[in-house]
Structure 1
């Protein structure tokens, strides 16, 4: 959950998000070094003595600004490709959940459990209780087991939506007529909030996502209670 005046990312709750945070810091340091080098070059070029000397040939300058950016791109691309591979590959998910975006709510269907499907609407302000967040709480939370690979199949029923939970590093577009896939593993129990991050209409900001990660035994208990209520 984000905090007031927070400048950085939310705390990572999944291994993929931890990798993304490390890659962000890695890239930010490269950008800082480039900015420092450019500022230093501009500063020394303002010196009349330097501009009137032949201490650096034009050929050498062209070699530097051709080879150095190529090296920088390689240093950035290699860890980026690694993370893309890790985000896409999961051979044996323990559970598969289909999420469908509607105007303006989400519906969930557990493919591994017959008849387990439900809708998730935003909780109105007059129904909020202590500890709930305005515009972020829902009536039916999505519950998943901790430390278990989860595969999300994401689609939409009407217009473009986007299923997004920042602390998990998950952001996948929900497209009508198309089934997109995302996988994640939660590394600790907790409640994680997200919102539709695609401009899907007038109530775009009123279709939040709340996922609760619990131990496997608690997940089975929740699963049985949901099946009994349907």
Structure 2
């Protein structure tokens, strides 16, 4: 018991320090880091409030029938062929329950495709076997910026490249989830994701942001998310797409709006240097302050 308690505490601390990724002993959904994911959490708990009592009721009825109406206790079976009251109950009850589930379900579905305000940033995510390509188009960008948007590929980070990339911390950059170039977006910003594919069907999925949208060749699917917290958050391709499907991660780095503006201005010419400067700025902002300095 002591070992299980220690493991549970360690997992909880890891979740707090590094949200937006799977953790050992995790049984619930990932922490909600966007308004839509918060609504998904609510709907999941709301649905469980119906599923659990229904499951208990059905299991209880099955157990009672197996006991009460076994051949030993009930050698002469009933000849009843019709009971109006029971038939009305088992017809109306499921209809009412389904209505209680359908109405909030449709409300959530509507919210997923209708953001609260106009998107301030558009990122086109193109799936390849087996990596992602990102192309940026901020809202209100100048014609010059629109003609040459920031674009780059995001490949899975190999174990050999960790140290050279400055990503040796496996808690912050997990195995099979870390990438060489994260998608960078500003916090508290509505981001439009345009998802497509260059070869087979992929799926762009970010569990903590409530994002899951198919990437289909020859088609562009649209989705939205609004990150509420700074940090690096992870997802994966969630459509079976070939032998390296298991290693097609998605990493989103959420930064302040000022940091994003600086990064975006530099990323068009030198992505590597822009990422290095962004990492340095984040580390400087999170470093403990010394009194009097």
SS state at 1:17 partner: helix
Alignment correspondent of 1:75: 100
Give how far 1:115 is off: 3.0
Q: Which runs of 5+ in 2 are unaligned?
A: 1-20, 139-144, 272-293
Q: Matches of residues 48-87 of structure 1 in structure 2 within 5 Å?
A: 58-87=83-112
Deviations 1:87-109 (A, max 9, x none): 01135111111010111111110
Among candidates 88, 104, 113, match of residue 113 of structure 2: 88
The structure 2 residue matched to 1:214, chosen from 249, 252, 255, is 255
* 1:24-83 alpha-carbon deviations (Å, 9 max, x no partner): 111112011111222333344433699999xxx811110110000000000100110010
Report the CA distance between 1:184 and its aligned residue.
0.7
Rounded to whole Å, the distance in 1 between the matches of 2:56 and 2:25 is: 27
Equivalent-residue separation in structure 1 for 2:60 and 2:83 (angstroms): 18
Larger radius of gyration: 2
- Give the number of the structure with larger relative contact order, counting CA–CA contacts within 8 Å between residues 6 or more apart: 1
SS of the counterpart of 2:122?
strand
Alignment of 1:170 with 2:184, yes or no, is: no
- Aligned with 1:111: secondary structure? strand
* Partner residue of 1:104 out of 107, 114, 130: 130
Separation in 1, partners of 2:64, 2:158 = 60
Question: 1:222: Cα distance to partner?
Answer: 1.1
Q: CA RMSD in A?
A: 2.0
Equivalent pairs, count? 228
1:32 aligns with 2:74: no
SS of equivalent to 2:55: helix
Uncovered stretches (5+) of structure 1, i.e. residues with no partner: none
- TM value normalised by structure 1: 0.92
Bigger proportion of residues as strand: 1
Please give the alpha-carbon distance, in whole angstroms, between the structure 1 residues aligned to 2:228 and 2:250.
19
